Amino acid sequence: MTDIASQNTDDGMILPEAFNNAFRWMVLARTFEEKIANVYRAGKIVGGVYVGRGQEAFSAALAVQLQKGKDIYAPLIRDMAGRAAFGEPVIDAARTYMGSARGSMRGRDGNIHRGSPREGVPAMISHLGAMISVVSGMLFARRLRGELGDTVGAACIGDGATSTGSVHEALNMAAVEKLPLVVAIANNQFAYSTPNTRQFACKDLVDRAIGYGIEGTTVDGTDLADCLQGFQGAISRAKAGKGPQLVIGTLLRLSGHGEHDDSHYIPDEIRASEIGKDCLAVAREKLIAEGWNTEDDCNAMEKQAAEEVENAILKAGGEQPPDPYSHDWNACSSERFRDNLTDQ
Amino acid sequence: MSITYLEAIRHAQETALADNPDVFIYGQDVGAFGGAFKATKGLHDKYPGRVIDAPISEDAMAGLAIGAAIEGMRPIIEMQFADFSTVAFNQIVNQAATHYWRTNVPCPITIRLPSGGTPGSGPFHSQCMEAIYAHYPGTIVMAPATVEDAYSMLLEAIYTDDPVIFCEHKYLYYHLKAEKLPRQSLPAESARVTRSGRHATIITYSAMVHEALLAAESLKEDGYEIEIVDLRCVKPLDTETILGSIARTGRMLVVGEAFPWGGVTAEVISRISSEGFHLLDAPPARLNARDTPIPYHPELWRYHRPTANTIKSAIQKLLKD
């Protein structure tokens, strides 16, 4: 048994505990997404399915260190693990995918476009990079009200989004405003089918931090411990008033862009390289090798996740879809400003 | 003491800042400098920390406002010129306008767009953007034509729980004056019959209301009484007031300073043609800016947008139909 005290990091994170915790959400995310991909292939999902296979460690490592009810977390399309770690119930994901009227988006939006803004999880739009400034605005509002405390806001993007003007504007603005923002860039090497060589020409994405006057860190996205420590440092620096933090996770997307995509364009040599390792398998191995958990407990965790996922999908699948006839077809909240379109 | 249209906008913001701690202003040069047009002059000193200079990042400015609105604030974003709001288009139409519909959480932001042409401003400092924002579900688009409306409608915009695109006209900033600010006003969503008449109705909004008034005054000399409806709010459209006017006059000319294609004038004609076709004695007419970018030279600009003269000609033609 490893001495747990020796695994403590500077800011008091107990690595074995955080590792176990993150691992649990990684298992849940992988289990859910494998199941939902099967349901998709069975033709029971309206719209697409986008999974975070290979990115679970990077995703969970951030969210597991945030506090729901206090912090802000803006996940992107491959952050099922982070969403679960931040406290999103599996049933919410199942309902949004299955189109249940009881889901948080009530059938008005689907799959990964879900959130609960009042609980600190803005609902992503598809336009990449657009959520960063929204998180900044949430932090900004709390600071104006004197309610910021040690809140931290996190926004997740991928390598593709770094090419957008939205990301540039948002990073620059957050730096100017010195907001306690952590921006996680999952560098999974491909934006849909486009490799990084066609996405950016800088040597390393982390160097962009210098240009914004903020701090940047790179972590090994296949190594949960490295991800946990990288985010732990970034979160404490943000909380300590050191401004926005960029954390780049080097990893490989172990799936297509969506389940409709066989990702044939990812060369075998990249898949076989170090970044092509499966973070979940690596974490499980380390967990047992370090003696932080047992094979039996891991098996039990996986079994429990399978049951939870099965139940959630069954439940959501049995719920009523939204009813177009009784639906409230108003896009404005203020009744007096609703347009009287009589030809509808 | 007289108050200009621009001062009314400043007063409305000051009233909101004084009355509600959730209000703040974010925009380029709005702080100590007081804004490119001085619409926030003095507010930075009076409300420290709540009138804040933004970097030149319209997309992120709008995103920041949306995030703050989610937290229950009522941000006012000043776009330096309406034309530059296209950089924030995505955040406005895809994030702010869809927010309530998607999440059930309202997005009370006010985006001030200094709009419309002034001589010598050229293609990128003169545009009227109301139609493209009104096109998207979830937006409210206001375009006040008077000093009093600039004040009362901006206050209503700030206290509305939905994204409001507030098109304030730069040509009116200094030209229009009123003796005092209103205590009570027509609700923002209602159109106003600005001038009564019986031979034809001009339906218009913003700076064009004043060109229409000049045209109507000139036509009076020929014995024509022209009614003018000021839309005030472009979205929602107060079709009832328009239909009421057409019922009295039987003829309509819709005037807008924006580009013609798919704009507010087209929308009004479409609605009135389907809902009030039986009230019309002549085909509905419209007048817009020309279908070219907005010219820089005052001599060209004068012939690009509708004016009292072109409105008068259009009415004379309409009266012959």
- Residues A168-225 pLDDT 10s: 999 999 999 999 999 999 999 999 999 999 999 999 999 999 999 999 999 999 999 9
From B109, B144, B178, the end of a domain falls on: B178
| Same domain, yes or no: B112 and B171 | yes
pLDDT of residue A9: 58
CA gap B200, A25 in Å, rounded:
69
pLDDT of residue A1: 36
Cα angle value A335/A338/A340 (rounded, 5°)? 130
Residue numbers in chain B where pLDDT is lower than 50:
none
- Residues A80-98 pLDDT 10s: 999 999 999 999 999 999 9
DSSP-based three-state secondary structure for A341: coil
| Same domain, yes or no: B209 and B160 | no
pLDDT of residue A2: 40
Q: Which residues of B touch A126 (CB under 8 A)?
A: 94
CA atoms within 13 A on the CB side of A265: 12
| Same domain, yes or no: B213 and B288 | yes
In a domain, A125, yes or no: no
| Same domain, yes or no: B48 and B150 | yes
- A142 contacts B55? CB cut-off 8 A: no
Residues B228 and B213 sit within 8 Å (Cβ to Cβ)? yes
CA gap A27, A53 in Å, rounded:
11
CA gap B169, B158 in Å, rounded:
18
CATH number of the domain where residue B83 is located: 3.40.50.970
DSSP-based three-state secondary structure for A339: coil
- B62 contacts A117? CB cut-off 8 A: no
Whether A332 has a pLDDT exceeding 90, the answer reads yes
- Strands B177-178, B252-255: pairing kind: unpaired
Is the Cα torsion angle B299, B302, B305, B310 positive or negative in sign? negative
Residue of A nearest to B135 (CA): A339
From B110, B144, B178, the end of a domain falls on: B178
CATH number of the domain where residue A165 is located: 3.40.50.970
In a domain, B183, yes or no: no
Whether A5 has a pLDDT exceeding 50, the answer reads no
Residues B206 and B144 sit within 8 Å (Cβ to Cβ)? yes
pLDDT of residue A4: 44
> Domain range spanning residue A58?
4-117+131-322
In a domain, A292, yes or no: yes
A342 pLDDT tier (thresholds 50, 70, 90): low
Q: How many CB atoms lie within 10 A of CB B181?
A: 18
pLDDT of residue A67: 97
CA gap A281, B252 in Å, rounded:
72
| Same domain, yes or no: B116 and B162 | yes
**β partners of residue A155:** A74, A183
From B128, B156, B178, the end of a domain falls on: B178
**A13 φ/ψ angles, rounded to the nearest 5 degrees:** -70, 130
How far, CA to CA in Å, does B242 sit from each of A67, B185, B245?
54, 19, 5
In a domain, B104, yes or no: yes
Mean pLDDT of A249-253: 98
CA nearest A181: which of A141, A120, A237, A249?
A237
In a domain, A341, yes or no: no
In a domain, B19, yes or no: yes
Of A117, A141, A342, the CB nearest to B73: A141
A7 pLDDT tier (thresholds 50, 70, 90): low
Name the domain count of chain B.
2
pLDDT of residue A3: 45
A157 part of contact set with chain B, CB < 8 Å: no
Round the average pLDDT of chain A to a whole number and report it. 94
In a domain, A329, yes or no: no
Cα angle value B110/B112/B118 (rounded, 5°)? 165
Residues B137 and B97 sit within 8 Å (Cβ to Cβ)? yes
Residue in the structure block whose two tokens are 């189109």: A99
A340 pLDDT tier (thresholds 50, 70, 90): confident
How far, CA to CA in Å, does A224 sit from each of A35, A54, A227, A278?
23, 11, 5, 11
In a domain, A327, yes or no: no
> Domain range spanning residue B224?
192-320
In a domain, B278, yes or no: yes
| Same domain, yes or no: B156 and B280 | no
In a domain, B32, yes or no: yes
In a domain, A333, yes or no: no
Residues in Cβ contact with A147 at an 8 Å cutoff, skipping those fewer than 6 apart? none
For residue A116, give the DSSP letter: B
| Same domain, yes or no: B242 and B298 | yes
| Same domain, yes or no: B120 and B259 | no
How far, CA to CA in Å, does B264 sit from each of A122, A257, A343, B204, B257?
33, 41, 17, 9, 10
In a domain, B186, yes or no: no
B175 is catalytic: no
| Same domain, yes or no: B237 and B156 | no
Name the domain count of chain A.
1
| Same domain, yes or no: B149 and B209 | no
CATH number of the domain where residue B228 is located: 3.40.50.920
| Same domain, yes or no: B197 and B111 | no
A108 part of contact set with chain B, CB < 8 Å: yes
CA gap A94, A92 in Å, rounded:
5
For residue B94, give the DSSP letter: I
pLDDT of residue A46: 83
Whether A344 has a pLDDT exceeding 60, the answer reads no
Of B102, B140, B271, the CB nearest to A337: B140
- A127 contacts B94? CB cut-off 8 A: yes
Mean pLDDT of A104-120: 94
pLDDT of residue A10: 55
